[in-house]
Chain A
Amino acid sequence: MEHIVIIGNGIAGVTAARHIRKKSDKKITIISGESKYFFSRTALMYVYMGHLKFEHTQPYENWFWKKNNMNLIEGIVTKVDTDKKKLVLKDQTIISYDKLIIATGSKPNKFDWKGQDLKGVMGLYHKQDLESLEKYAPNTKVCQRAVIVGGGLIGIEMAEMLRSRKIPVTFLVRESSFWNGVLPNQESEMINNHILEHHIDLRLNNNLKEIIADENGLVKSIIIEETGEEIPCNVVGLTAGVSPNIDFLNESNIEIHRGVLVNRFLETNIKNVYAIGDCAEQKKAIGQRRPVEAVWYTGRMMGETVAQTICGNKTEYKPGHWFNSAKFLDIEYQTYGWVFSEKNKSENEWHFQWQHPSENKCITIAFDKISFEFLGINTFGIRMRHEIFDKWLSEKKSVEHVLEFLADANFDPEFYKTHEAEIVAKFNQEMDRNIQVKKKSWKRIFSKL
């Protein structure tokens, strides 16, 4: 029986394992150095905040793995010998494979800051980071202030976590406005204000210079590059992005660059070795996507795809329309299709924007300024239907069509106030159109089913 070994039990590896099991009775082994059972990394924050216990982040009960005949090994792979098709673990255990899937995810970036390995400095990625945060920032007594370095999704989550225990937070953001490499200004500014509403000391245009230790090797303070200001703190969160976790492959024959280089079939340069998820790097970027995509959803999609290939149905990785979501403190964010920030958008991409006068709600709709084709939407504080936008993107609908049928796409809970009329009125005024909003129709919503 063919032996499939998967390194990494995150969403990519586990999705691959589940789909291989659905289609075959191949022997499956999953190796993880982080935790025996699969858990949702994105939910770690809720454990610290007291919304969940760690066990709640595990999507499958512990009997699931044995029942589905998936062998779990706790260990860290130190060497991959592709000639002999063998792995060596840290404890010198040797594991042979027939096919190997590398799904080792990411690690937090560190930019050689002085003091970056001190006690009390941590990223927020692994289960161990959560444990370390619980140790160094259990309450305001132990941690009088924390400094977070890096204004991205993990940074703002870490700030939210610390604030849930009333720990004062200073948030260093390199950019002139939060995440404005990705978000248009309207949205980025709304988030800036929301961060301040949560009493987080937001420092835009600020970089970390160094972290200073006390006599016990613990964090004592940090120094800001631009101003030289010293901020006393007990914990430093390093959240300046992540990069593929592939150091253990340096000595192997597997071709790596930033990540493990793969073709569209997720195959590496070595036969029968595949890479999926955060650690995989497409040799050639797909569409407007980045070669390395450290996103939950793409990890899952690669897992679904590689399982097909491994079970004999050779399948190209063809991610559909881009989508993503996040939550910035209290503000939910969803995006479908491509909306680029003012910094990065092409000349043909136009934005129609609407913002609620008092609540934290806004949308940006991107469209082609010549053809008026709908390109994508960012929505904050209003939930939207994935299926509808996926369909509109596939059918290359116009921005007018999207606005006319916007009520179909609303996914907010019942009785919520809807804003389609105001949104469309603004569009009509700005673009000199006369679009009438259509009432929501179940028939249209489910027409493709």
Chain B
Amino acid sequence: MKVIKQIGLGIFLVGFSVFTSAIFSGYFNFTQQELDSYVSEKGYKSERIKEELLKSIVTDEKLSILEFSSKVRAAFEISNNYHNALISKYSTEKNWAKKSEEFQYKISGKPHNLSFEIAKKAGKGFFKDQPTLAWWLTFGLGIFGALLFILPNAILLGKPGIKNDGIYHESATNRGFIAWLVLIYLVTFYLLLYFMPDYVVNWTFIFDPISKALNGGNASQWFVYGFLYCTIMLVMGVRMYIKYRHNKYQIVRTTSVIFFQIIFAFLIPEIMTSLNMPGYDFKSAFPLDYDFFFEWNLKNLQNSGAIGIFILVWGIILTLIIVPVMVYFFGKRWYCSWVCGCGGLAETLGDPYRQHSNKSLNAWKLERWLIHSVLLFSILMTVVTLYCYFSGTSSLLGIKSQWIKDTYSFLIGAWFAGVIGTGFYPIFGNRVWCRFGCPLAAYLGFVQRFKSRFRITTNGGQCISCGNCSTYCEQGIDVRAYAQKGENIVRSSCVGCGICSAVCPRGVLKLENGLEKGRINPTEILLGNDVDLMKLLNK
């Protein structure tokens, strides 16, 4: 069994290495003809960009993606600089006609994204030519190896029950060097994905056939990410099934998050796109879905006929009615640990790291400041956006709509939710984003704390203060602090993953949706002691 595991790990690492090294494989260049057709397809009017691209990438030389990217970005920069210089020249000459004419030659877009688009056309080599084989060598080997590594645990871990032996002895799960390597890999991955997609263009070639089959178009970096996300959740979901096989709540919950990720977040939007509809994740609620009220989205939805209007109305009802009503009945867990994609990744890929969330009082203070600031930020951004959208202006109270959207997308959407939120799993725990950053979680938290039937019930006086519940709480809640006082746990941040209840050796904790009355039960003297004294002090 152990040998099978080792072989599995080896196969996984091979697939993983092929996937990683794909970045540096293949080569990139254009022929004159390819360039011309690209420029006319994009409708670039500037002669200058044509010249620059001709000089730099129309070549027989086999350029690596790094060389290619820097040449393309330089070409766009030179071209745009050239036209900018003309614009300011005409401006000083007060030659307004010429100046406004000149604007059409400028090319907007982030340099790495422009480079990505060209690289997508200019790429050649193994991954472009043999996508199916490439898929098997990367994802195929990775999945097969990972399953070989995981499945023997069903036997190796022994009888069903809590399987936390050695977590604090292993480098990978005890913030050792393996954990740091994983952190560096994940952070780099997200930086490339968000900010330098052209560097990972080879990954997209692997998925062109699958993408074409699903939505009719070539794969973008987001398609790769979506597929990877689902794959990881499935494989690590298998690990969850084995690890928590004694606990039906965990089995059902894991199935639910995987279902919503694959069907709602991945397949339905892809199929909608193929049907010329706006691709929409019906479970993603504003303000987690922070660009729902952006002008481009509103316009897009309005121009998409009945389905667009349905999505618009659904999105608003989801946030304003469905989400809070469900939180009232079931707690925010129905979203955060049963449906949400971010939560889904945290509960599968992130499960081995859940013990690293900081339980100190200071961390709790930081959490409340940060998460509520992000909520305010997202609301402010949306107010400015909507005001500008309806009034036709470009700013509100001096805040420019474009600026605040860009700032939010960069700081919160990319850095906080992606790079930090997932990248920091191995060291800071698996719910960094959900705990400190998610504005939707903050909103659900208010409902859960003040108007909900959900609580974690403490079983009378049975707590022995061992600390398993607090240690394995991914949201950094000091569960023990309540349990050892005989108090129920009613906290806005609890996502209801149910692990505290699972790891409790004395059967003290139970997630329940009961009557609101008696949900919060402060106690001085614990159950089991003198009845009169309890009455006297617990009133």
* A interface list, Cβ under 8 A from B: 11, 19, 22, 40, 42-43, 46-47, 49-53, 56-59, 61, 164, 197-198, 296-297, 300-301, 304-305, 308, 315-321, 323, 325-327, 329-330, 332, 334, 383-387, 390, 394, 411-417, 442-443, 445-446, 449
Say yes or no: A332 contacts B506, CB within 8 Å.
yes
Say yes or no: A52 contacts B168, CB within 8 Å.
yes
A and B contact pairs by CB, cutoff 8 A, 26 listed: A11-B465, A50-B166, A50-B169, A50-B170, A51-B162, A51-B168, A52-B168, A52-B467, A59-B465, A59-B484, A296-B464, A297-B528, A301-B526, A304-B529, A323-B462, A325-B462, A326-B506, A334-B462, A384-B507, A386-B527, A413-B248, A413-B498, A413-B501, A413-B502, A415-B248, A446-B515
With A57-B466, A59-B481, A442-B514 in contact, is A325–B506 under 8 Å at CB?
yes
Say yes or no: B514 contacts A445, CB within 8 Å.
yes
- Cα A368 to Cα B252 in complex, Å, equals 42
Out of A43, A317, A318, A325, name the residue touching B507 (CB < 8 Å). Answer: A325
The smallest beta-carbon distance between A315 and chain B, in angstroms, is 6
- Cα A164 to Cα B164 in complex, Å, equals 10
Q: Which residue of B lies closest to A57 (CB)?
A: B467
- Cα A384 to Cα B248 in complex, Å, equals 17
B167 at the interface (CB under 8 A from A): yes
With A49-B164, A317-B530, A318-B532 in contact, is A43–B459 under 8 Å at CB?
no
With A40-B465, A42-B466, A334-B506 in contact, is A446–B526 under 8 Å at CB?
no
B360 at the interface (CB under 8 A from A): yes
Say yes or no: A449 contacts B518, CB within 8 Å.
yes
B43 at the interface (CB under 8 A from A): no
Residues of chain A with a CB closer than 8 A to B505's CB = 327, 332
Beyond the given A305-B533, A325-B507, could you list 18 further A-B residue pairs with CB under 8 A, ordered by the A residue number? A42-B465, A50-B166, A52-B467, A58-B467, A59-B480, A304-B526, A315-B530, A323-B460, A329-B161, A330-B159, A330-B161, A332-B507, A334-B506, A383-B459, A387-B460, A414-B498, A415-B248, A415-B249
The smallest beta-carbon distance between B503 and chain A, in angstroms, is 8
B247 at the interface (CB under 8 A from A): yes
Out of A51, A197, A417, name the residue touching B165 (CB < 8 Å). Answer: A51
The smallest beta-carbon distance between B488 and chain A, in angstroms, is 11
- Cα A202 to Cα B252 in complex, Å, equals 37
Say yes or no: A387 contacts B507, CB within 8 Å.
no
Residues of chain B with a CB closer than 8 A to A383's CB = 459, 507, 510
B470 at the interface (CB under 8 A from A): yes
Out of B168, B249, B530, name the residue touching A413 (CB < 8 Å). Answer: B249
Residues of chain B with a CB closer than 8 A to A332's CB = 505-507
Say yes or no: B459 contacts A394, CB within 8 Å.
no
B468 at the interface (CB under 8 A from A): yes
Residues of chain B with a CB closer than 8 A to A323's CB = 460-462, 528
Say yes or no: A304 contacts B525, CB within 8 Å.
yes
Q: Which residue of A lies closest to B498 (CB)?
A: A413
Say yes or no: B468 contacts A52, CB within 8 Å.
yes
B361 at the interface (CB under 8 A from A): yes
B521 at the interface (CB under 8 A from A): yes
Residues of chain A with a CB closer than 8 A to B524's CB = 19, 22
Residues of chain B with a CB closer than 8 A to A449's CB = 517-518, 521
Residues of chain A with a CB closer than 8 A to B319's CB = none
Say yes or no: B510 contacts A43, CB within 8 Å.
no
- Cα A233 to Cα B460 in complex, Å, equals 42
Residues of chain B with a CB closer than 8 A to A327's CB = 505-506
Q: B447-474, CB under 8 A of A: which get 1 and which 0? A: 0000000000101111011111011000
Q: Which residue of B lies closest to A157 (CB)?
A: B505
The smallest beta-carbon distance between B414 and chain A, in angstroms, is 34
Q: Which residue of A lies closest to B531 (CB)?
A: A320
Residues of chain B with a CB closer than 8 A to A297's CB = 461-462, 528
- Cα A51 to Cα B360 in complex, Å, equals 19
- Cα A34 to Cα B502 in complex, Å, equals 31
- Cα A46 to Cα B481 in complex, Å, equals 18
Which positions 140-172 of chain B face chain A at CB distance < 8 Å? 158-162, 164-170
Say yes or no: A43 contacts B165, CB within 8 Å.
no
- Range of interface residues on chain B? 35 or more
B511 at the interface (CB under 8 A from A): yes
Say yes or no: B528 contacts A390, CB within 8 Å.
yes
The smallest beta-carbon distance between A24 and chain B, in angstroms, is 14
Q: Which residue of B lies closest to A303 (CB)?
A: B529
Residues of chain A with a CB closer than 8 A to B251's CB = 415
Say yes or no: B247 contacts A385, CB within 8 Å.
no
Residues of chain B with a CB closer than 8 A to A315's CB = 530, 533
Q: B467-500, CB under 8 A of A: which get 1 and which 0? A: 1101100000000110010000000000000100
Say yes or no: A411 contacts B481, CB within 8 Å.
no
- Cα A287 to Cα B480 in complex, Å, equals 31
Residues of chain B with a CB closer than 8 A to A304's CB = 525-526, 529, 533
Q: Which residue of B lies closest to A443 (CB)?
A: B515
The smallest beta-carbon distance between A107 and chain B, in angstroms, is 20
- Cα A47 to Cα B167 in complex, Å, equals 10
Residues of chain B with a CB closer than 8 A to A164's CB = 165-166
Say yes or no: B471 contacts A318, CB within 8 Å.
no
Residues of chain A with a CB closer than 8 A to B467's CB = 40, 43, 46, 52, 56-59
Q: Considering the complex of A and B, which 3 residue pairs feature the smallest CB-CB distances, nearest first?
A: A386-B460, A330-B161, A383-B507
- Cα A385 to Cα B527 in complex, Å, equals 11
Residues of chain A with a CB closer than 8 A to B466's CB = 40, 42-43, 46, 52, 57
With A164-B165, A332-B507, A442-B515 in contact, is A320–B465 under 8 Å at CB?
no
The smallest beta-carbon distance between A194 and chain B, in angstroms, is 8
Residues of chain B with a CB closer than 8 A to A330's CB = 159-162, 246
Residues of chain A with a CB closer than 8 A to B460's CB = 323, 385-387, 390
Interface centre among B159, B251, B498 (most CB of A within 10 A): B159
Say yes or no: B464 contacts A51, CB within 8 Å.
no
Interface centre among B459, B470, B528 (most CB of A within 10 A): B528
Say yes or no: B514 contacts A446, CB within 8 Å.
yes
With A59-B465, A415-B248 in contact, is A50–B164 under 8 Å at CB?
yes
- Cα A55 to Cα B498 in complex, Å, equals 23
The smallest beta-carbon distance between B50 and chain A, in angstroms, is 63
- Cα A271 to Cα B532 in complex, Å, equals 25
- Cα A416 to Cα B502 in complex, Å, equals 12
- Cα A416 to Cα B526 in complex, Å, equals 28
Residues of chain A with a CB closer than 8 A to B506's CB = 325-327, 332, 334
The smallest beta-carbon distance between A368 and chain B, in angstroms, is 22
The smallest beta-carbon distance between B427 and chain A, in angstroms, is 15
- Cα A53 to Cα B471 in complex, Å, equals 9
The smallest beta-carbon distance between B321 and chain A, in angstroms, is 25
Residues of chain A with a CB closer than 8 A to B514's CB = 442, 445-446
- Cα A52 to Cα B529 in complex, Å, equals 30
Residues of chain A with a CB closer than 8 A to B527's CB = 320, 386-387, 390
Out of B158, B169, B361, name the residue touching A61 (CB < 8 Å). Answer: B361
- Cα A353 to Cα B305 in complex, Å, equals 66
- Cα A296 to Cα B167 in complex, Å, equals 27
Residues of chain A with a CB closer than 8 A to B462's CB = 297, 323, 325, 334, 386
With A50-B165, A305-B529, A413-B510 in contact, is A446–B465 under 8 Å at CB?
no
Residues of chain A with a CB closer than 8 A to B161's CB = 329-330
The smallest beta-carbon distance between A327 and chain B, in angstroms, is 4
Residues of chain A with a CB closer than 8 A to B518's CB = 446, 449
- Cα A416 to Cα B244 in complex, Å, equals 13
The smallest beta-carbon distance between B515 and chain A, in angstroms, is 5
The smallest beta-carbon distance between A19 and chain B, in angstroms, is 8
The smallest beta-carbon distance between A407 and chain B, in angstroms, is 14
- Cα A320 to Cα B527 in complex, Å, equals 8
The smallest beta-carbon distance between B233 and chain A, in angstroms, is 20
Interface centre among B164, B460, B503 (most CB of A within 10 A): B460
Say yes or no: A411 contacts B167, CB within 8 Å.
no
Say yes or no: A414 contacts B168, CB within 8 Å.
no
Q: Which residue of B lies closest to A360 (CB)?
A: B159
Out of B246, B248, B530, name the residue touching A318 (CB < 8 Å). Answer: B530
Residues of chain B with a CB closer than 8 A to A412's CB = 510
Residues of chain B with a CB closer than 8 A to A51's CB = 162, 164-165, 167-168, 468, 471, 503
